[in-house]
Structures are given as C-alpha cells and as structure tokens.
A and B are shown apart, each in its own frame.
Chain A
C-alpha cells in the first residue's frame, strides 16, 4: 500500500482564557448557599470547580464561559437566581462574514486537530450568503460507478499545480512532446500571505514551518527573504515566492530550490514568467489576479496567453474588490471555470481561488465550483486565537497577544487546523463517493445550489421567486 498522507498532530491548548458562547449570570444577591448548582445540577462540575478557576486571575471568567448551555443549574437553582446569557465577548468576535461560530470552531480545531462533532441536528439558517447557498451531494444506492466504496483510506486529496499536457507524443517508448513542469501537493490548499494589516514578522517563520510539516506550500513575499531562523534547504521546497512588480529577483541558488512562484499581475507578466523560467526551467509560475471589476476577464485572458497557474483572489470576506454590488468568490470561480471550459482551456491552467475561504467546507465547495485548489490565510491567523478585531497595530491592544507566541505553539495550532480541514475534506469526499480530489474540480453534479433547488421544487408550485 502506498504511503498515505498523514499530518502528525498533538493538542495545543490555548494561551488565552477561553471565550465561550454562554455565560451564567447570578443576577440577584440572594443566594441561599444551598449548593444545588454545585452538588447536583451541573453535570460538568463547572460550579464545583470554581476554586480552580479562581486560582488563575487571567482565566477567572472561564468558569462562566466554559458553560455548556444546558440550563440545568438555571432551572434547579433554589432561588431562581441564575440566568444563562450569550457572552458579549463571544458576540464581538469576528464580523458579519467571519462569524463568532466560525472563530470558535476554528479555535477548537486548532487546539485539538479534531473534526467538530456534536449532537442534535443542524440549528442554523436554512440557506445563506455565499457558500451557505450550496450543498454537496452524496451517493446513495444507484451509483454503481462511484469510487468511494473502498473506504476513506483510499481517498486521495492530492492535486496538481501547473500545466497538464492533454496528450503525449511518443517515439517508441520515448516521450518526445515537451512536458511542462508540474507539482503535486497533498491537499487542495496553499497558504497565502497574511494581509499586511494583520502581518507580524514572526508569523512568516511559523507559516513556513507549518507548510513543511503539512507538506503544503506557503506564499512568501520575495522582499522578505531571507527569513530569520529558517533552514533554507529544508524550507525552500515549501515556499512559493511572491514577486510584486517592483520586487527584485532572488539569487538563482535560492530560486532553484523552490517549485512554485507567484507574480503580481501587470503588463509585463509574460516577461516576468520568462525571466523566472530562464533561471529555473522547472518552476511553475502563478499569476495573482485580484478580483476587481475586470478580474474575471483578466483571468480568462491570462489563460488564453498560456499562463499555467492563475491565482484569483477576492477580499478577505470573499467579495469582489471595489464593487458596489460585489459578486461572491463562489460565483466568480464558476464564471472563470465555465469560460475556460467554453474556450477549451480548462485543462491547460490551474486555478487557485482565495478570499473568503473560512471553513473546510468552503475548500470543498470552492473546488466543486471549479477551482483546482484554494488559498487560505485568515483561518490560520484565527487558529492562533486571533479575534479578527483589527487592532493589530499596537501589540498591547491585541487580545490574542500574538506577538508573544512561540514557534512551537504557532506551528502546532496551524498544523492542527490544517489536519482537521483535511479530515473534513475526506468526510465530504467519502460522502460524495469521490476518491480523487482532482476529480472534484468543477463537478457541480456533486453539488446542489439554492437557486436551482428552489426553482425545481418551488417554482412550479409558487410561481416566480421575488427579488430580495
């Protein structure tokens, strides 16, 4: 049996006090000291363990925030003093896209590396914005050709980056057609650069080390090289340098140890690619296209110009950049993918999609919509207990104290998160009956879209859907 992709993980507990969803509030100073809450009601012993929490002033609030929300103490309190409320700190996490639920589940996965499992059915909105308006399909009885039947250990999450030759020319046993460089990574994910407003110098080494541990590739701004405390021979195969238009070329001996590079999109794209390939013929070069108003068309045009990898990037909430009525990354991926198919260029180019990829299902859904792989950055930052509060300028105001983190903590948390994402991708692919992530790309037959389901189910019953 070939070696399986496996990420070694171990729990990395949080450094900061946990922020739970709930808080138990004692709202009248009238306690009978009956200890009902302590002795009987709380099956999790939260009240009984009060003294443990009080010993550490930093985490004294955790007593309340570790509450599981079962209402048992509230309903058994002799004097009806207790109230279960939503923790205001919890509600302040993130923003309208990066919801508190997303932040909290990311923290949990970065801590444990486990797939979040819970009881009771789904309690959220029926459908929603962006990736929440689609479902993945699954395989029931009548698909004898499905390929997930042998079990999850046979599912490959690997994808290729680069130009795939559509055919080979052979002379006897010898391949005579030119072969483009191509590289494989073990899951459809690359680590993007952390946006400047969140960036801290020490994060670069952590991200690169995480890429090595997970077998992935991290994008690093070429202007930052050399990174401190980094073993070049070990790390360069997992680094893809990003060359801004004004960035100087790196020395040949550095560049030749990398497998992928990314360049900023400008008028000189072709000459930049030629320059890189001249130094290192085996390198795969991606062009980063910001998804502004003309972004989709630009990506399509670049494919026509034989660019082998295009990295389309929306803003961090997955929205078209600078638009009054922005499209979402899901829809932009679909447009690019469909256009490339119509132009007969889809298999010539690798599409990396970034921006708004916040949960593992977004990775799978992004690929289903037509990307070959996705890029992430903020989830890794959130994994370090970041609140996405945007107060990074002054380290004193950072509630996660990210400037104080150690390498082992940062790498451990990021590795755990990527491992949990990988396991969840396998869950989804197993349910879909898919054995190869390469085949997931653009397979909308394994996806269901809100608009389509509504039309099919309700259009004939209720007429036309009203515009929002």
Chain B
C-alpha cells in the first residue's frame, strides 16, 4: 500500500466498507533495469551495411574491429549472419578508428543511410526520435551520442522544436546526481487530503480499454507502480484486473461516463474529470465500431460493434459553479481522492484553469492541440485549440497573477515526446507533464496512424483484437516502459545538473533558462 494514502488517516476511516472489502493486495514492481530487446526480427536502423559477398574473403576483420558487434560470424560457419545494423554508429566510427568500411582489406563493405528513415515517423516524431525511444526502452538509457540520433527535438519547426536550454559552460553550482530531486507534489491545497508525491515529474495519460489493449494498460500500470507515479484508466472503465494497481491509478470520469461507478471512484487516489481532449477538443471521445469488441462493450455497457462517440461537453456543466458541483460530488464519494481536471487549450484556457482551481481541483491538466488519440477526425487534430507550448506560460502566468499558483498543480500534455520536452514544459511553467504517445512508441509504435479502425494497431498496442494484442508480452511491455522512464529520469537529472538546478520544482517557470531560435532572446522576463 502506498505510504501517502495513510498519512493523515486510516483507509478504513475513509473508504466505504463495501469497497474496502473488495480491495485486493497491491502489485509490487521494482524499477530494476533489465534488457527488453526489440520484439521484431529486424530492427530498423539509421544505417545499413551492405556486404559484397563476391569480394568478401571472410577474414573476419570487421567482426574483430566493431565494438558494437554489428558483424556476426559464428564459429563453424562459413558465412556471416545478417549484420546488426541497428547497433551501427555509422561514419562516426572513422574518428574512433574502428570504421569497418575503410578497414575491410577487400573494400567489400558499404554503408548508407537507411532509406526507410524517410518513411518512418513524421515531423513531430521523426525517425531518429522513434529509434532513440526504442533504445531507451531496450536498455534504460538514452542512446549514446555515437549513434547520432537527434532525439531532443523534432522537425515541426515550432514550439518545443525551436526552444533550447541555455546551458552554461559550467553550472552555477556543482551538484551530484543523487542530490537532484525529480519528484513533484500533486496536492498543494493543504486541504487534509493525501499529500501525494510522485518520484518523476510525469504520469501516464488516460488510454481506455478499447483504445488500447489490456496488456498495454497493464504495462503502463506496472511502470507507474515501479516509479511511484500514476497511470490513468481513460474513458473506458476500470477493468477488474487493474485492482492490484488501484493505488497508482487515476480513474477518469469523462462525458460518456463509460464504466463509471461509485465503487471505481472509491478505489483510487486520484479522479480525473476529462472535459476535453487535445486531439479533438470540443468533440468528445471516439471509439470506432470495429474496436468495440465483446469485452469492450461489456465494460462500457454498450452494444458490440457500435461506434461510440462521447458527447461534448458534460451536459451537466455549463459554468464553473456546475464544475464545482461535479468536484464536490466526487469528493463526497471518495473522501481521500485528489481531483484532476483535464481540459484542452482554447483561447480562454487561463480563465478555465483559474475557475477550476476556485472550484476545488487539485490538478489542472492542460492537453494541448497536438495531443495523442486512438481516433480523431483529422480536421480536429490539426485545427482546433492551441498547442501546449502557448498554453503553459499563459496559464502559469495567470495563476501567478491570481495568487493561486502555489495552491494547484499544473500538468501539461499534448506533444511531450522526450525528456527535453518535459524539462521545457516545466521551465515554461508547468509542475509536471502527462505522457502517452511516448509509451506507445516505447512498446513499438511506428506512428502509422492506423489505431482507429479495423482490428486496430497492427503492432498490437492500440488494439482490442486478441490475436494482435498477443504480440506483446506483459512482462516485456512493463519492462520497456520501466526502462524508458529510467532513461527519461536520468536525462532530466542531467539537464538539471548542467543548469545547476537542484530539483524539478525549482525549474518550474524558469523560462530565463530557455532560448528560442526564432527570437532575439534579448528580453528575458523571469516569472518565478
């Protein structure tokens, strides 16, 4: 049982007897890093090595020379096995004196950039960012610089992709990595409810059973347990098999109210109201009929095969006062729960945030216009509501001006792809972030955008098809996420150390540590 739940009172005092009876022992998961190798036979690589078999004399010099083990010639075999191109550093080896291409006495080897790098990913998630995330998921560390992956920014030409940290030559204070604190507090209201602190400045975003598979949801939940953070049920209800993860789950109350019951609200430490989603603001959730399988329909109490479109908005909420009634309703049903309010980013997002704070929410969750989704109209993804990079400073500054900033936790999502985005979001004014797409990529997503229809994700991640979902083993999936979380945390610690900042909390609002490539950067106003 998580310690934070019993700080102020005992569970039996605040959880109704019936719900307490159904409570199951909570799952234990260590954050040990173990290799979680790719699950496909051929890993996609930045470079490909081509061997001219007619020229090659099988001398094995390439095998001996390559520190990465790209070339393989097993004892007793005459021919080489396929090269492990995904381990190849490429031309950088020339400087290191281990470049197989020039070292081959017969000139039998040739290297070229993989043409598939052009077809993998997109502007926001370019191929190198995907490959780097896969490396993190495999080993728990950011890929070595030798790989030359440019994963810190994408190619969208705006927002986070044009913002950089102003790293000093030497940090103003020398910090050891173990002195740096990456935890954040989720309840700043001092209202007698649990003082929940998570060890990393992010938690997992809502992905319903229906949009993703059971295995994907459980993998996310296990990673949340390992890193003492949270995962979210999404809109599709709270599966029975999630019970051992209750203490690290956020249950979502969205406009469709699928699977929302008093009992599911009472089980968790955080309840999230989803007013809107960044990928489709103002439209409500979409689950197309093909993915509404028997299991999904049962969970959502709907008819199999029917497309499910949640309404927008909550038809019981047309004002902040109505919103307050909603919050009071949840607070009454679950007397220990923190309340998170997830909104997208309209022009008046600052007003919405302050209104939600005054209504009693603990966490304001901004989901930017470029956020992830299992299915959304293309017209909505691109055109409605502002990107998160604009919304964070707007809301942060408004909360500061209203004197409310230190009583509420501000988290942001919708385009957080790597640890640099996390740090930039925090420096712009967020306390932490919510992630989603990164977890999918860590599990092997190639961003082919096919999660919406038919059997769903051909990679077995965002699918409810049993055959496809079986492509992912739960242990493997959980380990991939645990590893990626570790890589992200290490990179954030490294960023803070280089900046001479002791904690993530100290980084909040430090936009003076940022620069924008499209601006003069001559005027820097520090909003603490």
Chain A contact residues, CB within 8 Å of chain B: 22, 43-44, 68-72, 74-80, 83-86, 105, 115-127, 132, 135-144, 149, 359-361, 364-365, 424, 427-428, 430-433, 445, 448, 453-454, 456-458, 460-466
A117 touches B519 (CB 8 A): no
Q: How far is the CB of B166 from chain A (nearest CB, A)?
A: 11
**B132-171 CB contacts (< 8 Å) to partner A:** 156-159, 161-162
Number of B residues with CB within 8 Å of any CB on chain A: 108
Cβ-closest chain A residue relative to B311: A151
- Partner pick for B382 among A75, A78, A83, A122, CB 8 A cutoff: A122
Q: Which 10 A-B pairs have the closest CB atoms?
A: A126-B158, A431-B282, A119-B451, A123-B122, A75-B40, A462-B519, A138-B282, A70-B458, A463-B520, A119-B452
- Contact between chains at B317 and A141 (CB < 8 Å): yes
A126 contacts B518, CB within 8 Å? Answer: no
Residue of A nearest to B291 (CB): A119
**Residue contacts A-B, CB under 8 angstroms, 12 given:** A70-B458, A71-B116, A71-B446, A72-B459, A84-B120, A116-B379, A117-B288, A122-B124, A136-B383, A141-B323, A461-B525, A463-B521
New contact pairs (17) apart from A43-B458, A457-B389, CB-CB < 8 Å: A71-B446, A71-B448, A76-B42, A78-B41, A117-B378, A118-B375, A120-B448, A126-B157, A126-B158, A138-B276, A141-B313, A141-B343, A144-B319, A149-B318, A433-B282, A461-B511, A462-B521
Contact across chains for A44 and B458 when beta carbons are under 8 A apart: yes
Given contacts A80-B82, A135-B386, contact A126 B156 (CB under 8 A): yes
When the two chains form their complex, are residues B42 and A69 in contact, meaning their CB atoms are under 8 A apart?
no
Q: Does B522 contact A116, Cβ atoms closer than 8 Å?
A: no
Closest residue on chain B to residue A467 by CB atoms: B518
Verify if B479 is at the interface (C-beta below 8 Å from A): no
A119–B440 Cα gap in the complex (Å)? 12
Q: Is the CB of B320 within 8 A of A115?
A: no
CA distance A115 to B286 in the complex (A): 13
Give A432's nearest chain B residue, CB to CB.
Answer: B282
Q: Contact at B451–A120, with CB atoms within 8 Å? A: yes
Given A123-B447, A453-B386: A76 and B40 within 8 A (CB)?
Answer: yes
Q: Which residues of chain B are within 8 angstroms of A79 by Cβ–Cβ distance?
A: 82
Q: Given contacts A127-B158, A141-B355, are A70 and B119 in contact (CB under 8 A)?
A: no
Report the separation of the CA atoms of residues A462 and B514 in the bound assembly, to the nearest whole angstrom. 8
CA gap between A132 and B145 in the complex, in Å:
35
Does A427 contact B521, Cβ atoms closer than 8 Å? no
* CB contact between A453 and one of B390, B524, B525 (< 8 Å): that residue: B390
> In the docked arrangement, what's the CA distance between A448 and B159, Å?
15
Partner of A137, one of B346, B378, B451, B522: B346
With a cutoff of 8 Å between Cβ atoms, the chain B residues found around residue A72 in the complex are 40, 458-459
Please provide the chain B residues from 260 to 306 with a CB less than 8 Å away from any CB of chain A in the complex. 275-276, 278-283, 286, 288
Q: Do A105 and B378 touch (CB < 8 A)?
A: yes
Provide the B363-395 mask, 1 if CB < 8 A to any CB of A, else 0: 000000111111111111111111101100110
Mark interface residues in B112-124 (1 if CB within 8 Å of A CB, else 0). 0001101111111
- Min Cβ gap A99→B in Å is 13
User: Are A465's CB and B519's CB within 8 A?
Assistant: yes
A337 to chain B, nearest CB (A): 19
Residue from A75, A143, A430 within 8 A of B283 (CB atoms): A430
